[in-house]
A and B are shown apart, each in its own frame.
Chain A
Amino acid sequence: MQKAYLLALYELAQNDPNVVLLLADSGTSYDELIRSSMPDRVYDFGIGEENMVAAAAGMASAGLIPYVFTAGAFLAYRSMEFIRNDVCLQKMNVKLVGMGTGLGWSTLGPTHHTTEDLSILRAIPGLTILSPCDPAETSACIKLAYQIKGPVYVRIGMGGEKNIYADNPLLELGHFNTLRDGNDISVFASGIILNEVLRASDILQEHNISVKVLDACSIKPPDEACIREEAKSKKMLVAVEEHSVTGGLGSALLETLSSTGVPSKVLRIGINNQFGTGYGTYDEVVKANGLDGQSIAEKILSALESA
């Protein structure tokens, strides 16, 4: 994903001299691509995320289009007030790219886990939030963010993510792509955890449960029409998120349904009012937090039984 992000940014930067990359000692080896060919486009602010975010807003006020890149946790938590006051309140054309979001920093633990960023940032007016699930969708998000004249937060992973989309996905704001069709329940998820959701859907298929899987990359705005439609036709909606169940995608589903008058059972699977636990590989930490395909399938089966 990081490579896809950099390649997409490189393309944008080649075509628009106003596109710049801001870092807080937070780059990756892929940055070299831009650093070596366009050194005047890279600004390393040192370890100081708040200053970097506010400076990005200042740059945008004078016509640049900054892509701010750092660990999601430091971006969303540490510089939150700067995202709010300097970027969003002032409607600045700044793109915030959080890396290693969710449980991505699997060996470093809860200080680095980004499991409340959506709760925090979704509440800020005027901020578009995109959560791509694979490299191709990451590239699409970076380009879509460029089209949007205003603040955008893009939530990406640590690197090495598998492809979910065969081709470049068509990405539209406020639209959820269907990854797999099904009749019984609809599962909404965004980001890398969609791999586990697809695995869970295979397991559920063995139990004769037909699962529709939706890619909720456009977290804000969400696809309200889709949520309403699924609520009408399915016996249960499920939100799976590599994030707290408070304030994330599951909450977005409930917020949408609360104004529709369509009662539907909504199961939220994510991190339950706790910090992400465990250390290890990404897959191991996902499992330790009950978000592997098997655990997701079991939670859904259990909810269906008690429904």
Chain B
Amino acid sequence: MQNQELSSLRKKIFLTAYPIKAAHIASAFSIVEILYSLYCDGVMHYNVTNLNDPDRDRFILSKGHASLAVYAILNKIGIISDAELSTFCRPGYSLGGEVNINETAGVEATTGSLGHGLSFGVGIALALKKKKSPGKVYVLVGNGEIQEGVMWEAVMTAYKFKLDNLVVILDDNKVQKMGFTRDTMRIDSWNERWAAFGWIVDETDGHNVEQLTAILKKKNNSDCPRIIIANTVKGKGVSIMENNPDWHFKMPYRRELKVFMKELNISEEELEDAKSISPCAL
């Protein structure tokens, strides 16, 4: 049942992107289970009928280009309609390639320029503490964007301010835009690096919902912020896209499309339907 829901999310992401022929599909596929765990497996507290509840948990997608995964999950929980989803990147509509707080209900921060989301989340976590709110802040960061120096400013201040209400999930898919992260930046161990900054570190298979949820629900008994290093596969769910840097921002050609359709269980009819959807129906 859960596997089917996860497959449906990937299918929806692909079919939403396909008519536009421009989207970060592999980056979105990398975080499907993480978002499912947060929004659909009881980790985050939120109220779909009161999105402005001051005590809600907040989710921030710091790697804003994986927006389609967020839209798909917001669609699944009933915040974004199917009709709205079909407006993705269409002129005259507001659902864009990067998440935007002003334009999409349920989005807590506008991101797109990498390295901003964690600092923004630190600010929310500080405000929630000041207001004595039980709300927590979950920030999903990419393994590439932590090369931005400002991320480490945020890492230091989260520890300084004892933000035990802040949880970072590192989508460690080992790939970034131009290639493998190991070729771009010499990295030994994320685990040790974050621990050295005082964070509580956990590591998990980022595609195993059961494991993710168990770790995300773990009580934080310290006064330190937490990071969960989620070992993920970029492009997870389509064999030719998995762990292949070429697919950072690419749509399948005719022959590749057959693999996508087969592995995502998409029929010819569904593909034609997706192409024919007119956002004017909204």
A58 and B130 within 8 A (CB): no
Task: Render B105-142 as a binary contact track against A, CB cut-off 8 A, 1 for contact.
Answer: 00011101100100111111111101101000000000
Any B CB within 8 A of the CB of A292: no
**Contacting residues of chain A (60-96) with chain B, CB-CB under 8 angstroms:** 60-64, 66, 81-82, 85-86, 89-91
B102 and A55 within 8 A (CB): no
Select from chain A the residue with minimum beta-carbon distance to B150: A50
| Chain A interface residue number, banded | 20 to 34
Q: Is the interface of A mostly helix, strand, loop or mixed?
A: helix
Select from chain B the residue with minimum beta-carbon distance to A43: B126
Minimal beta-carbon separation of B122 from chain A (angstroms) = 5
Residues of A within 8 A of B156 (CB): 46, 48
Minimal beta-carbon separation of B169 from chain A (angstroms) = 17
A59 and B126 within 8 A (CB): yes
Residues of B within 8 A of A85 (CB): 110, 112-113, 116
A57 to B109, CA, bound (A): 9
Q: A85-B112, A89-B110 are in contact. Are A54 and B120 (CB under 8 A)?
A: yes
Residues of B within 8 A of A52 (CB): 119
Minimal beta-carbon separation of A175 from chain B (angstroms) = 29
A20 and B109 within 8 A (CB): no
Residues of A within 8 A of B154 (CB): 51, 54-55
A91 and B150 within 8 A (CB): no
Minimal beta-carbon separation of B13 from chain A (angstroms) = 25
**A→B interface (CB under 8 Å):** 20, 40, 43, 45-46, 48, 50-64, 66, 81-82, 85-86, 89-91
Please, could you name 26 A-B residue pairs with CB atoms under 8 Å apart, sorted by A? A40-B130, A45-B153, A51-B122, A51-B150, A53-B119, A54-B119, A54-B154, A55-B120, A57-B120, A57-B123, A58-B109, A58-B121, A59-B123, A60-B123, A61-B101, A61-B109, A61-B124, A62-B54, A62-B128, A64-B127, A81-B113, A82-B119, A82-B150, A85-B112, A85-B113, A86-B120
**B→A interface (CB under 8 Å):** 54, 101-102, 108-110, 112-113, 116, 119-128, 130-131, 133, 150, 153-154, 156-157, 160-161
